Structure 1
Amino acid sequence: MISLLFAMDRNRVIGKNNDMPWHLPNDMKFFREMTTNQTIIMGRKTLESMNGPLPKRENIVLTRDADFSHPNCKVIHSIKELQKIINEQPEKEWFVIGGENIFRQTLEIADRIYMTHIDESFGGDTYFPEFNQSEWEITSEKAGTVDELNKYPHTFIQYDRKK
């Protein structure tokens, strides 16, 4: 199962200057809980934004750069290559974590979306692609707690692709 995991604002912003334009500890906690001991798939820029691979996860980097390598990541160069790896373990949940181009390439083959929707507008330069919501159903929706550390209203939404 391919799952897309991200946070976005009202305007679909997911990033700015290779970083997130918000600070939302609830979302980071959710991300950690979902991905620890799992496989995460990302583009090279996302890897660079995190200053390297995340611990306690298998890190796969999808990049067009044939010369790119990283000692603690599996590097692949195409969606076809990704699908081959996924097909070898179809019972497993694979987490695509960004960025924009990787989401664009995997949206059509994804089975699930975990979205943290932040009810605020931020400036940004990276967006989650438009998707046809009629192809998806909301299977879980939970409001996040707003407090002194989590200043923005946010909702954790799970979409599953309709069969």
Structure 2
Amino acid sequence: MITYVYAQDLKGAIGYKKDLPWHLPNDLKFFKEVTMGHTMLMGRTTFESMDRRILPGRKTVVLTSQEDYGQDIAELGLVHSGEEVLELAKDQELMVIGGAGVFKSLMDHVDKIVRTVIEGEFPADTYMSDIDQENFRLDKLVEVPANEDNEYPHRFEWWVRK
């Protein structure tokens, strides 16, 4: 099973200069809760934007064309093709966390989308395409108002393939 996990603003922005365009502690907490105990798949650029860190309690797998990438990180898993990703997702829920190219390449295979939508617009250079509502239905929605720790109202959405 393939699940996308990402946050975006109202225009679909997901990144700016290889980082998140916003600071929203509640979304970071939500991301941790959703991905904990799972295998996370990301592209090489996304992994490098995280300073090549392995997040605790989750297995990290990087999709890259570089055969010898990450040899210095014992805990790092590698895949080199979409076929390898699909094989990996056969017996587990694979959490795909970015980047945009990885999302685009696997869209026909995604089963579930867990998305945070931040009620705002931010400077960005990386965008996510709209969810195709012909193929996905909104299963659950949680609205969260702004507060002293989280400057922007936001919502958590769970989409499932029809």
Give the TM-score normalised by the residue count of structure 2: 0.93
Q: Which residue of 2 aligns with 1:75?
A: 78
Q: Which residue of 1 aligns with 2:140?
A: 140
User: How many residues of Structure 1 are paired with residues of Structure 2 in the alignment?
Assistant: 159
Instruction: Quote the sequence identity (%).
Output: 38
Cα shift at 1:154:
0.5
Provide, for residues 85-104 of structure 1, a one-character-per-residue CA deviation record: whole Å limited to 9, x for no partner: 222x1xx3210000111111
RMSD between aligned residues: 1.2
Query: Contact (CA 8 Å) 1:6, 1:116: kept in 2 or not?
Result: yes
Moved over 3 A (4+): none
Query: Matched residues in 2 for 1:93 and 1:114: separation?
Result: 13
Cα shift at 1:107:
1.4
Cα shift at 1:132:
1.7
Provide, for residues 89-135 of structure 1, a one-character-per-residue CA deviation record: whole Å limited to 9, x for no partner: 1xx32100001111111111000000101110001011112342221
Give ranges in structure 1 of 5+ residues lacking alignment: none
Whether 2:57 is the aligned partner of 1:56: answer: yes
Moved more, 44-53 or 23-32: 44-53
Query: Matched residues in 1 for 2:68 and 2:131: separation?
Result: 32
Q: Which residue of 2 aligns with 1:12?
A: 12
Give the TM-score normalised by the residue count of structure 1: 0.93
One-letter amino acid of the counterpart of residue 53, structure 1: I
